[in-house]
Each structure stands twice: as C-alpha cells, then as structure tokens.
Amino acid sequence: MVTSITSFGRSGLYDWMMQRVTAVVLMAYTIFMIGYLLFNPSLDYAQWSGLFSGTAMRIFTLLAILSMAAHAWIGLWSVSTDYIKITSLRFVFQSVCGLLAFIYVVWGIQILWGA
Amino acid sequence: MLVSVYRYNPEKDNAPYMQDIHIDIPGGKDIMVLDLLQLLKEKDTTLTFRRSCREGVCGSDGMNMNGKNGLACITPLSQVVEKDKLVLRPLPGLPVIRDLVIDMSQFYRQYEKVKPFLINDTPAPAIERLQSPEDRAELDGLYECILCACCSTACPSFWWNPDKFIGPSGLLQAYRFLADTRDTARDQRLSELDDPFSVFRCHGIMNCVNVCPKGLNPTKAIGKIRNMLLQRAT
C-alpha cells in the first residue's frame, strides 16, 4: 500500500468517488446555466440578481462551488504527482492550489450572500 | 528496407543513438520482426536483444516497433513496416541495460506486490481444491498473461510513477487472484490496493488493451477491482 498525506481523502477510492460525484454536480450546474441563458436572451441585472436571491439557487451554486474546489484539488493533485518530481516544488504547487481553492470558496460565498 | 535500431552500450557509448541499417529480406518474404533482428545480428554481432521461445509464449522479446509495443516473434513485418522503414526501440519507460534489453526490476517489483499466488488458510483437502466450471471461467482472460511488460510500458501512469502505480499487468494479475473462488485473502488484497496510486492512477486510456499481444483487457480487470473496492466500502 502506498501512503499519501496530501491527497484529498487519503484514500484512492474516496478520491475517485468524489471526483465522479462532483463531476455530476458540475455537469448539472453547467447544463442549468446554459439552459437558463438560452431561455432568457434579454437578461437584465434585476432578473440575474433575482435568480441568485432564492435559497434553492444559493444552495445549488454553493454546492457547485464546493464541487469545483474538490474536483480541481483531486485533479491537480493527480497532475502534480505525475509531473512534478521535486518534492518541495510539488508541495508548493499543491499548497498554491489548496489556497486558491479556499479563496474561491470564500469569495463565492461572499458574492452569493453579499449582494 | 531500412531498419533504424536503438543502440546503447553503456560501456562504450556516452549516449544512446539510432543506427540505420539497409537490409534485403531474402525472397521478399513476410518474416517476423524477430527473424529480421536475427538477420541484423548476423551482420552486426554486437546487436543485443532478448528472445527465447520465438512463438509468443515466453514474453522475452517485447519491444517498441514503429511506435507500438509488441512481441517481435509474432509480429510480421507487413503489420508494422511503413514506407519500407522500421524503427526498433526498447520498451519505453524502463532503464535500458543495452540496446533493446531493458531492466525490468521495477515491473517485477509491482508484480510481487500483488502477491501473485493463491492464498488459502483453510486446511488442504485430500484432493485438489475444486472449482465449478463457472467459477473457473472467471479466470479466463486473466491467467493467460505472460508478463512481457508490453502493456505496463505503454502506460503513461506507469511511466510517471513506476514505483507507486502497480500498472496494467500487475493489476490484471491482482484481479486474477481476487476473482479466484479458492482464494481466501480477498479482503487483505483489497486493503493493500486501496490508496491513491496502486489502482486509481489508472485513468482508463486503454493503451494496455491496444498493445497486449495476447489480446487481454487489463482496463476491464481494473474496473472490476474498483467495483470490488466500492462494494466493500459502501
């Protein structure tokens, strides 16, 4: 068994399942967004703001943001362990990815509940 | 025809190089790549490659022929030669010992990890441990692997992490014992595979299936290991 302390869930199976579950959430969100934009060609600020004031939409969006953070972390962790062979450099890369994911989640929450 | 062969003798050469050799095939016959290598060796006796059974059973002469891994002894020239040219290289991703001979230690180390033998802690019966024909059929497409390393050395995940990712060949063997009804160590075997590298570094690009000279399907076996892990954990 290969140990790893930097992977998302410490278990290959858990990471693999999370990658698939988050992919489904992101696909659902993307399809919804494309559909919404297609069916509302003359979209204005009031309507856009109204869409995101509903609790359901806020939950759905927060779910999509969290899914994106987890999905990106698992994916980029995998890429970094493939291609970055110098441990210190890999750790810095992973730290930057983790920090960015955290920033985007907090920023996303602020946007969702701030307006 | 023109044959371009990878040459490297660490005792003499500073770096590997490609040697171009023009050769006429006697009678213009469609011979196997291994026969061609034998002809080349008659011209230049320093050319080094592994070979043994010359009929696709021993798995010694795995090499990269015009960019695709395969066994030289069962690959006819007509199948690989393009524009009258053939490029022969050692299997990619493992250290070269000399010319077309590679050091397969890392490959065997991964094979060793999956404990490729039957584990059964129940008392041995007076006769063999019997299986029903249906249970035995589960092992078809798994036991035929000859460990030629064509699949694992065609796998980018194995190139990047040959010390952590078991690789298609080792995982096919892992499933061969996981699927065996006579084996009692299934849970222990699965526990040893449940990490982010051993199994899950496979992204299902199926290079292994594309090159396997025995027509086996490691990607399918890896999928079945994943399902076993999933069923055990949910």
Q: What residue ranges do the domains of chain A occupy? A: 12-114
Q: What is the CATH number of the domain that holds B53?
A: 3.10.20.30
**Domain A12-114 class?**
mainly alpha
B151 shares a domain with B215: yes
Work out the minimum CA distance from B160 to partner chain A, whole angstroms: 5
The answer on B224 and B199 residing in a single domain is: yes
Q: How confident is the model at residue B23 (pLDDT cuts 50, 70, 90)?
A: very high
Is residue B72 located within the same domain as residue B156?
no
> Do B137 and B45 share a structural domain?
no
Provide the pLDDT for residue B97: 97
- Residue that is last in its domain, among B81, B102, B123: B102
Contacts across the A-B interface (CB distance below 8 Å) = 50
pLDDT for position B222: 97
The reply to whether B45 and B141 lie within a common domain is no
What residues in A contact B194, CB-CB < 8 Å? 1, 11-13
pLDDT tens digit sequence for B77-105: 999 999 999 999 999 999 999 999 999 99
State residue A7's pLDDT score: 83
pLDDT at A1 over 80: no
> b or e along B105-143 (b: 16 or more beta carbons within 10 Å of the residue's beta carbon)?
ebbeebbebbbeeeeeeeeeeeeeeeeeeeeeebbebbe
Q: How does strand B85-89 pair with strand B2-7?
A: parallel
**pLDDT above 90: residue B140:** yes
For residues B228 and B116, state if they share a domain. yes
Q: Which of B82, B102, B122 is the last residue of a domain?
A: B102
Q: How many domains does chain B have?
A: 2
> Is the pLDDT confidence value at A113 over 80?
yes
pLDDT at site A114: 84
pLDDT of residue B115: 96
What is the average per-residue pLDDT within B151-170? 96
B195 touches chain A (CB under 8 A): yes
- Note whether A87 contacts B: Cβ–Cβ < 8 A: no
Q: Contact B196/A15, CB-based, under 8 Å?
A: yes
Round to whole Å and give the CA distance between B197 and B120: 27
Q: Is B35 left (phi over 0), alpha (psi -120 to 50) or beta?
A: alpha
| CATH number of the domain encompassing residue B148 | 1.10.1060.10
Domain around B227: 105-233
Residues with Cβ within 8 Å of residue B164, at least 6 apart in sequence: A2, B197, B198, B201
pLDDT for A62:
96
Instruction: Say if residue B118's pLDDT is above 70.
Output: yes
Residues B119, B34 within the same domain:
no
Domain boundary among B47, B80, B102: B102
Q: How many residues make up chain B in this entry?
A: 234
Question: Does residue B27 surpass a pLDDT of 90?
Answer: no
pLDDT for res B117:
96
B165-201 pLDDT per residue, tens: 999 999 999 999 999 999 999 999 999 998 899 999 9
- B161, closest residue in chain A (CA to CA): A82
**pLDDT bracket for residue A6 (50, 70, 90):** confident
Domain co-membership, B133 together with B227: yes
pLDDT by residue (tens digit) across A29-87? 999 999 999 999 888 999 999 999 999 999 999 999 999 999 999 999 999 999 999 99
Q: Are residues B159 and B97 in the same domain?
A: no
Residue B28 has pLDDT above 90, yes or no: no
Q: pLDDT tens digits for B30-83?
A: 999 999 999 999 999 999 999 999 999 999 999 999 999 999 999 999 999 999
**Euclidean distance between CA atoms B23 and B45, whole angstroms:** 15
* % of chain B at pLDDT higher than 70: 100
Cβ-based neighbour number of residue B58 at 10 Å: 16
pLDDT at B127 over 80: yes
Q: pLDDT value at position A115?
A: 62
What per-residue confidence (pLDDT) applies to A4? Answer: 78
| Residue-level pLDDT at B26 | 87
Task: Establish whether A71 is an annotated binding residue.
Answer: yes
Contacts of B200 in chain A (CB under 8 A): 12-13, 15-16
